[in-house]
Homo-oligomer: A and B are copies of this chain.
Amino acid sequence: MKSGLHFLIAARQCEIDELDQLARTSELVGLIGRLVHALQRERGMSNVFLASRGRRFADQRDPQIAECQALEQAVRNGFDQLETEARQRASAGNSARLFSRIAWVLPGLDALPALRGRIGALELAPAEATAAFAKLVAGLLAVVFEAADGATDPEISRLLVAMFNFMQGKEFAGQERAFGAATLALGRSNEAQRVQWLHLIESQERCFHVFTDFSSDEVLALWRESEADATMAELERLRRVGTTLAAPAASPDAQYSQLSQNWFDCCTRRIDAMRTVEDRLAADLRALCNRKTAQARTDLEAYQQLLGTLAPQSGGALFFDDAGTQAVAPASYGRVLERSVLDMVQEQSQRLQAMSDELQTVRASLNERKVVERAKGLLMAHRRLSEDEAHKMLRQTAMNQKRRLVDVAESMLAMADYLPMPDARAPR
């Protein structure tokens, strides 16, 4: 029969298992960050390659694809390892959701070679290729999101939330690069395009805002440094030009082609510089996991030593001391030890509760995205839409009503009961 101290140790062991799992997940998140960055570059190149009918970036595409493939392999190995270890050892509570996200993204990686083939054969429009890469990146970011949402340590969760939002902001910046390059190359923009452009700017700023809230001063300094004044001035100038292009150019001339090129280069400088922040976040995450695990192991050893000095079943004599009954035995060395075990148990309970409370606060920052996902699911069920169609519909409504996506999603959820349910298959 196991004693209270035994379970005190078991609780610590569970924490260590969770930290170990978090360390592996964090490592994977770092790798995903690098793969996403490489795919973003490949997307940019493919875009220009297709737009120039194969003239530009023809040479640089292959090495970029090779880099993507190497990182893809590393990420796939990371996925496999996570699953193997989950089978052998304790798995955190959200493994099902994490694996479900991985199950979603793997077919996307499987389909990459075919996509690349069609790009190489110039069979796709630039916008189609961009959309395909964006879908894959969204799937990878969903894995990162789940890792952040499932973290059981509040400090690690904070860093993962910062990282997810930074990666998502960077992805919006990448989409803005593609969108702006296409718009500037045309030499004209209509109201809908202007609204969509502003929407992409607003989306990335919101992500970077959350990232800022959850980051250390050092990371923020690095972030300010990476956003070089000259690049940002040029970026804002080109944004202004792009969103105020009025008269449709009869045929896009060299001036617009050059504007588009400048825009693309300027965005690329900015996005590449963001990579240093991402690397720093990944390194901080690794260091934090190591520090936390080491601390937990030290505590565990202290408990185990104490267990060795105590008689079995001890610690009980003092339990009722606070309950109005008087001490059962006189003070002794053994009693001091027992007191300290009860204190340790209480301290641990309170620490775990405080962690859980803090975790809830950190996770609340992820709710916005969940609300949007939920509204999408609702649309998919009620209107038989695909996920992309549902997302576009929500975004369009937000743009039309000049409201934030999350506000539209919230209104929709609030009205859920009033929506007809055309589909007889109720969700299980």
Contact = CB atoms under 8 A, between A and B. Distances in A.
A129 B324 CA distance: 8
In the complex, the count of this chain's copies comes to: 2
Interface stretch (A98-106, A203-211, A268-276): A98-106
Contacts of A90: 86, 89-91, 95
Contacts of A318: 107, 111
A427 interface: yes
Given A4-B104, A12-B96, A83-B2, A386 B322 contact: yes
Interface in A286-309: none
A353 to B, nearest CB: 6
A185 interface: no
Interface residues of A, number: 99
15 contacts: A3-B106, A4-B110, A7-B106, A11-B103, A14-B86, A93-B150, A100-B349, A107-B318, A107-B338, A124-B325, A131-B325, A350-B377, A353-B373, A353-B377, A357-B370
Interface of A: 1-8, 10-15, 17-18, 76, 79-80, 83, 86-87, 89-112, 114-115, 118, 124-125, 127-129, 131-132, 134-136, 150, 152, 313-320, 322-325, 328, 338, 341-342, 345-346, 348-354, 356-357, 370, 373-374, 377, 380, 386-389, 427-428
Which are the 8 A-B pairs with shortest beta-carbon distances?
A110-B316, A93-B93, A7-B103, A111-B316, A11-B99, A4-B106, A14-B96, A131-B324
